[in-house]
A and B are shown apart, each in its own frame.
Chain A
């Protein structure tokens, strides 16, 4: 009796593990995050763009690039979005994936309210700086700025606190616990709207030119075994981006309730200087070179083909002779 019930139980467990993987054929599992950056995902969802191409998207939301990475490795997601640094850390450690598209270019920077702090050199050991997580694009940009201004990439590592954007924004605005926050829209805009809050370092001054804040990735398995679904993924996200760029007012109306902001505020944020929803990638190699020099990864991609799928390579192109503008923008 007892043996029989154990047998039935283990059969049930095996079946429950096996069945979903068979049934999920027509679905694309998409791992995103939350925030203004992910507006194209919200538009694709609201306008049912994937459904128009005949596939069913499964939307999953995670709290950090690290969590998206884990979802992709464990097979919980087919495609996902994260900053270039978490992508490169995974690539360095052998994750079988490549970049399928650039995602957005957004302003990003280090905000403080403390009138005493005017540059990175003014941070005292007890002044806390919030970033979403170690190894995030915010952390890597801060390390880049530290190397440029203070001579060492790890100069402020002991000041770091890992906090999700909403918590850190609340803490900074109430001037409690942290002195500065390395952040992105809409939190960046919200913080900069407060009296006395200002940027002490920004993206372009660190990197030299704009770069993709996020990239879309797909696993090699997905790319090789489901080429149609892969193309649909690239096209559907592109459609959503083009719609936002051309219909800012309508996009603001659609997105405002999601962010619990007024339509005017959302529109102001969408039209903020520097915002650019584009599938063209920028800065792919620049991050890799810095992260290698600073010891965050153990190797540099030999060429873009190591880290990007063919559609991305075609988009960037390969000019005979001197590099084209877009090619140059991949470096630092």
Chain B
């Protein structure tokens, strides 16, 4: 057993843990109140599908067109939303994303467009359009939706009013009504409450919004973009999650910044690094860094400064060796509890330190 592993048998000082905690609590409380009063906290208003469709109607319609022809980010995402083949990211040959499976299935055509539109009352043109859509085969629907999506992508500002005539079937009418529904706020509720009255799962509306470019434009304006060290930032000039810096860092450098498997690689790497942090005491080399970097000499500088030069100092792992260690010649009387106090007083005289400041007292074994 070494001195490091057993209960400290050397000199001690009075130390009031409870008083220290109470003072710390007061200081932190006052500091928190001061920071909150001085700087407040950010609260950049959320985006709804209604605000998105009113502020960027063309972006909304273009996004809805990609949902309908199955080319949107969500429609082609893979697990856990869709069964899209080869969409899942991999670490080497392993795809944890694929293994975890589709647990939150999303059919962008049905969930984002058709089901909400079927709830619109008293619109004969829409009823006819939906009837035409439902009556057509899968390939016909795909041709209509793709043609309209392609045409929309080519016109200036993706403006539906500038789309040239073509074989789009019922798609223009459907998307026009979806825009109207979105602008009225109806689509927000329809996407949230497709299964039940009480709802807290925003998966579908958030996926829909994220498929457009309006959310990203707003986020980039708040320096939240991926290449702007995104997630660790906060809106405005507030500190965000600075502790995520290492996670965000990997996305800025190759090979992660250019890899199609960037997310899987970064999360895999961060999982390894997190495990390494927890297991530092067991990793040869890493656990020796503190011995090579003399920060500990700064931390314990008062203690080291007070060491007795003639005796030098001993490694903490050596001092339990009875042959090398004897307090008798140094501390004088070692059989009583005042031996440590004597040694402390000797040192205080040697160093000229005030007894109160050094806090040395009898040893408590």
A binds B: no
B interface residues (Cβ-Cβ under 8 A, vs A):
none
